[in-house]
Amino acid sequence: MSKKILVVGGVAGGAGTAARARRLDEDAEIIMFERGPHVSFSNCALPYHLSGVVRDCDDLVLMCPSKFAEQYNIDARVNNEVKRINRYEKTVEVKNLETEETYTEDYDKLVLSPGANPIKPQSIKGVNNDNVFTIRNVVDIDKLNKYVENNNVENVAVIGAGYIGVEIAENFIHSDKNVALVEAMDQVLQPFDFDMAQIIQKELHDNGVNVVLSDPLTEVHDNHVVLKSGKKIEAEAVILAIGVSPETKLAEDAGLKIGETGGIEVNHNYVTSDPDIYAVGDVIEVYSKIARSKTRLPLAGPAQRQARSAANHIYNIPTKNNGVIGTSVIRAFDYNAAATGLNEKQLKNAGISYDFVYIIPTDKVGLMPDANPLHFKLLYEVPTGKILGAQAVGKGNVDKRIDVMATSILMDATVEDLTESELAYAPLFSTPRNAVNQSTLVATNLINNRYNQVPVTKVRGLVEKDAFIVDVREKDEYEAGHLINSVNIPLSELRERTDEIPKDRPVYLHCRSGQRSYNACLALQGRDFDNVINISGSYLGICFYEYFLDQTTDRKKIVTEYNFE
């Protein structure tokens, strides 16, 4: 007897489940309900319609109902909203939003993939004004774009500096709008650590985005917004990108169990508390492989994998649930940023003992004309060396380095496991020993107490306390910009000038990227200096860390000149 499978919601989770079920069972009756006009679209590409990268909003639509019928024999019903689940009769009540007709469909298996709603706090005065928008689907982005064009909007306020917020801000800049990016927290892009986020904040700032941090939105007016500090920002259009909440009402009304994080609780196979109802995508609660706790992860990649697993289980095909690690990537103007695993804040909250490496190699051989610095941060467990997370920011292919680290986390690899990893190399693509190899070698040295380090986040405090800091770059590099109280002893002169370095107090060393200062540390340790400490990230990292803060706050500079090359 063939199965009847109903799917609530389309896009990655719902459409993926329906398509996989069809591949497994040619005879099944599969019906997919979507309350909007589009059942399959590229939600990750929505912001790029604002700048014309995606010229026509219809291009965002990937599959229409007729194609689902022709190619997959799936009945995709748009503008049809599932209003109620009758679990004990195994039926759903559906409303056709075009005809207002209400009807009933029975099912053998039901899959919920309604997604998540953009958060729209009613505590914000004016949040329901006509010039306030949220972005979830093609209709939303089309409505925003037309409003901006029809009303000659010149000033835009984007509220929330997560991935969507940053992408919307960038695309509005490319459309020659004045853009303010307002974030209640103290940094953009929360998956990244504070030190790494400064690089992206600088890039946004340098490209004309007015980045406002630690100042929540309180009021929206016709031509401006008001922040908690009382600051007013001109804005004829306001986009809320402050997060999403899982759309669980249908599940709650049906008596399905909701998890501790607010998403639908599912088991290993994405089965809800009802054995005939599955749930996938942004609406569910998932398990963090590293933190060993429940979380939510509204990303398209995990949703597609969940969809396949759910469909497999309907047909008794074994599935493997590894939990999630949270791998993502974004572009902000000329910089790319990718992350996987947990960051420092998350590791602290999870109570996991960790340390990290921050290195800045080039993304390809330095002789190549388009070689650029690659900021790479590796977080690992102490004392095991197990890889817990990684972040990469630069102008090159940061994603491929992070993909290696994501795969390593999945395999429970340690830093020692990756020191000898054989990765693709040619001068145009990488360096012979690329960021993955270098970072794990550094981590291995730290685990084995070969030397000590201090992060760039501590350098301002060291300068203010007049710590003894040695800059081992060459004289011309030092003269182009340096820490205001540092002493220049180039690595090439170090062995002849050790009498200038004290042994009775801590000595901090840095160069441009950390490599020469590491060699200087070991050279001095070989001459009985037991008080030397390398500055992780070195001068380049210090410049990126300090620059945005210096431009947006009133504080004393600790460098004579910034140098980002």
562 in a domain, yes or no?
Answer: no
HSE-up of residue 275 (Cα within 13 Å, Cβ side): 0
pLDDT of residue 402: 98
CB burial class (10 A; 0-12, 13-18, 19+) of residue 395?
Answer: middle
Whether residue 122 is contained in a domain is answered as no
Q: Are residues 309 and 338 in the same domain?
A: no
Nearest to 476 by CA among 486, 463, 490, 487: 490
Catalytic hit among 44, 57, 64, 511: 44
Condensed to tens digits (0 to 9), the pLDDT of residues 308-328 reads 999 999 999 988 899 999 999
The pLDDT score that the predictor gives to residue 535 is: 97
Decide which of 242, 258, 282 is a domain's last residue: 242
Q: Both 348 and 369 in a single domain?
A: yes
Catalytic residue status for 44:
yes
For residue 548, what is the enclosing H or E element? helix 538-552
Over range 217-235, report the average pLDDT: 98
Same domain, 338 and 442: yes
CA angle in degrees (0–180, nearest 5) for 206-338-360: 70
In a domain, 35, yes or no: yes
Kindly state the DSSP code that residue 68 receives in the 8-state scheme.
I
Q: What is the CATH number of the domain that holds 294?
A: 3.50.50.60
Q: pLDDT confidence of 554, banded at 50, 70, 90? A: confident
What the block records as the tokens of 180 is 């303010």
Asked which of 280, 314, 348 is the last residue of a domain, the reply is 314
Using CA atoms, how far residue 41 sits from 36, 68, 303, 321, 355, in Å, is 11, 13, 14, 26, 41
pLDDT confidence of residue 553: 86
Same domain, yes or no: 299 and 400 = no
Q: Residue 210 pLDDT > 90, yes or no?
A: yes
- How far is the CA of 349 from the CAs of 290, 342, 346, 353, in angstroms? 12, 10, 5, 11
pTM (predicted TM-score): 0.94
Nearest-angstrom CA–CA distance, 402 and 359? 14
Are residues 110 and 136 both part of a single domain? no
Question: How long a stretch of residues is the chain?
Answer: 565
Q: What pLDDT score does 43 carry?
A: 87
Q: Do 227 and 258 fall into the same domain?
A: no
From 191, 208, 242, give the residue that closes a domain: 242
Domain contains 28: yes
How far, CA to CA in Å, does 233 sit from each of 119, 155, 236? 21, 9, 10
Gap between the Cα atoms of 351 and 512, Å rounded: 33
The H or E element that residue 329 is part of is strand 328-332
Same domain, 273 and 218: no
Q: Over the chain, what is the mean pLDDT?
A: 96
Share of the chain above pLDDT 70, in %: 100
**Do 251 and 190 lie in a common domain?**
no
Residue 323 resides in a domain: no
Q: What would the pLDDT profile of 266-290 be if each residue is shown by its tens digit?
A: 999 999 999 999 999 999 999 999 9
- Tell me which residue of 506, 538, 534 sits closest to 520, measured CA to CA: 534
Strands of the sheet with 75-78, listed across from one edge: 75-78, 29-34, 4-8, 109-112, 277-279
Mean pLDDT of 457-483: 97
- For tokens 């005939």, the residue is 276
Higher-pLDDT residue of 271 and 42 is 271
Backbone angles phi, psi at 188, to 5 degrees: -85, 165
- Specify the range with the lowest mean pLDDT, choosing from 107-111, 172-176, 277-281, 427-431: 427-431
- On whether both 235 and 252 belong to a single domain, the answer is no
% of the chain exceeding 90 in pLDDT:
94
Calculate mean pLDDT across residues 150-157. 97
Alpha-carbon distance of 550 to 548, in angstroms, equals 5
Give the model confidence (pLDDT) of 496-507 as tens digits: 999 999 999 999
Q: What is the pLDDT of residue 564?
A: 87
Which pLDDT does position 87 carry in this prediction?
A: 96
Q: What is the pLDDT of residue 24?
A: 96
Distance between CA atoms of 547 and 422, rounded to whole angstroms? 36
- What per-residue confidence (pLDDT) applies to 546? 94
Q: How many domains does the chain have?
A: 4
Q: What is the pLDDT of residue 565?
A: 77
Q: Is residue 49 part of a domain?
A: no
Q: Are residues 28 and 71 in the same domain?
A: yes
Supply the pLDDT for residue 306.
Answer: 96
The contacts of residue 305 (CB under 8 Å, 6+ apart) are: none
- Residue 143 structural domain: 132-242
Q: Is pLDDT at 1 greater than 80 in this prediction?
A: no
Give domain status of residue 125, yes or no. Answer: no
Whether residues 289 and 434 share a domain: the answer is: no
Asked whether residue 288 is assigned to any structural domain, the reply reads yes
pLDDT band at 50 (very low <50, low <70, confident <90, very high): very high
CA distances from 153 to 95, 277, 283, 418 (A): 37, 46, 34, 51
pLDDT digits (tens, 9 = 90+) for 420-460: 999 999 999 999 999 999 999 999 999 999 999 999 999 99
Q: Are residues 434 and 506 in the same domain?
A: no
* pLDDT score recorded for residue 522: 96
Give the mean model confidence (pLDDT) for residues 21-25.
Answer: 96
Helix (H, G, I), strand (E, B) or coil at 195: helix
